[in-house]
Structures are given as structure tokens and as C-alpha cells.
Structure 1
């Protein structure tokens, strides 16, 4: 017998399904918020100490290569200027105040920059001029 306030054909799992749907919607919202937070961290996180060391060492190697080594006249006379040039250009290119402020997500770009860096033409010519006597011997 059907009672007067009873709905015929109503699924008994309807209420449970509604609760699951609501719970899933809350989970999706929570995941979206978490994704936003992770993205924000990725955008603002700086390189770590190991990455900083790698960039520093690769930069130092590029400078030494440009100068012709530690025992060259160019190193003795222009070493500081060339080291200053690489880090100044690095900071300018990445728009950061210090090279260790490089965003972690740009670490590979930072490595590529220091590995392929060359002094600008005027500085390069000064290096060559100073080392000319050494390389022609």
C-alpha cells in the first residue's frame, strides 16, 4: 500500500548520490585551490644551493675560457671586469637583483646562459690584445 506523501518510483540511492556529487564538487574545488597554490610556489621559488653552485661554477668556467686561463695577462688585468660582466648580463637578462634569485623554473635557462656566454666585442678585443703576446710565443 502507498502512503499519500510517498513518491512512487523514487530511488532510494538518490540522497546518497546527491551527497557523493556534493563531496566530489568540494574535492574538485579543493584540488583547484591546491593547484593554484603549487603554481604560485613554482613561480616564486628560487634556485637551491646546489643549483646556485652549478650556475656559479659554469659561469666561472666561461669566464676562464674567455680570458684564456688563470695565468694569462688578461686574467690578471681584466679578470674582475669579466666576472662582473657575466653576472651583470645574467642579472639583466633574467631581471633579478642577484644571480641566486633566479626562479627555480628557469634553472636550465640560467645554465644555458652561463655556458654559452661570451664577452661583448670591446671586452673580447681587450682580452685578445692583452693575451696576444702569450698566444704568439
Structure 2
């Protein structure tokens, strides 16, 4: 009987009720923070691939026990309890298997070394998790403030809600503003902007102005109205 040493991220998503692409996004943020802290991210998350229904390779991760610890730390409620119960049992079975199949690994010396290494990693992880909470994801209040600034910018760009340019170009102005912010921070969503860089995001949003193309389109829209 082969006992796995890791858990596939696809199986984790089934246990925690989260879309696989969302879990991959979270893991990539964890890997970034671990790397910045000079921790070997492969001790937690091992990059891997699987073949989808079209036999095309897709990314996934193999989670070690401490990788599961990190994911479980972010969960609450029944899903968090269920996931913790499953992965703890899985790794306990793996440890029993190793002891039964490779007695030399059960020596006191090897066990003590593994225990000390694990405790050291957990101590580092506790500090990293605290830092991680402050470094990833904006707070709800921060998201709202940033969103308010973007909407205000768009409203000014089109000349107000009563302007003829409002309906065709208000949402375009919002999208252009968000795109400039996401490109600057190199994120797929503004929600991934590091919390500690919020002030920088606010300054960037406040200094936004429409592109030359958007300004021209708004101007043409208003000129056409004036000629009617």
C-alpha cells in the first residue's frame, strides 16, 4: 500500500469548498511571502501539473503537511475542521507506513532530528503567518476607499452623471483606471494588492487621468451633442 507524502491541491479544493484557481492564487501568494522570508517554499508547496479532459497540462500544487497547516490556518467553520481532520489523518497514516516499511527511520536519532526540524519550521511559520496577514489582501475598508476613488475619477472624466458621455464611457473609464492600477502592481485583481502598499495604491488612483484616446472619445461625444 502506497501512502502519499503530499495532498494534491485539487483534492484540497474539494475539502474546503473553494475553486481550484482561487486556491492556486492563494498558494502563489504564500509562496511569494515564504520566498521573501528566505524560507524554502517547496517545503510547503511543490509545483506540479495534471492533464485536463483535453489531455492538456494544467498547473497544480502538492501540499506537504506544513503546507496544509498554512492553508488550514486561514479557514474557519466546518470546512476548516473537515480539512484539518482529513489531512492530519492522511499524514499520520503516512508516518505509520514509513515506520513499518523502513524501520531504520524509526530510530531515536532520526525521529529527534525530524522533530527538531519540524518545530523550527513551525516557529518560523507562526511569525510568517502573522506577517502574511498584514502583507496580502486589502481590508474591506481599504477596498471600498480605493473603489470610491476610481468611481470618482471616472465620473469627473465623463463630466458627471447627467453628461451625455456618462452612459457610453463611465464604465470604460472605470475599467481603464483599474487596469492602470493592476498593471502597476502586477496583479490580476486589485484585491491582491499588498495591504502594506495601500497608500501607494491610493496615490496612484488619485493621480490617474484618462488616456488620450478616451479623452478624445468623450470630447467627440460632447461635440456631437452640441451640434444637434
State the TM-score, normalizing by the size of structure 1.
0.65
| Residue aligned with 1:73, SS | coil
Greater than 3 Å deviation, 4+ residue runs: 38-43, 132-136
Q: 1:40 deviation in Å?
A: 4.9
Q: 1:133 deviation in Å?
A: 6.0
Give the structure, 1 or 2, with the largest relative contact order (CA under 8 Å, sep 6 or more): 1
CA contact (8 A) 1:64 1:70 kept: yes
State the TM-score, normalizing by the size of structure 2.
0.41
**Which one has the largest radius of gyration?**
1
Q: How many residues align?
A: 105
Matches within 5 A, 1:1-137: 37=128, 39-43=131-135, 45-132=136-223
Aligned mates of 1:135, 1:104 — CA distance in 2? 45
What RMSD, in angstroms, separates the aligned Cα atoms of the two structures? Answer: 2.7
Q: 1:41 deviation in Å?
A: 4.7
1:79-122 Cα offsets, whole Å, 9 max, x none, are 22111111111111111111111100110011111111111111
CA contact (8 A) 1:58 1:115 kept: yes
Aligned mates of 2:133, 2:172 — CA distance in 1? 35
Unpaired runs of 5+ residues, structure 2, are 1-123
Q: Decide whether aligned partners of structure 1 residues 135 and 61 sit closer, same or farther in structure 2, where only a CA change above 3 A counts.
A: farther
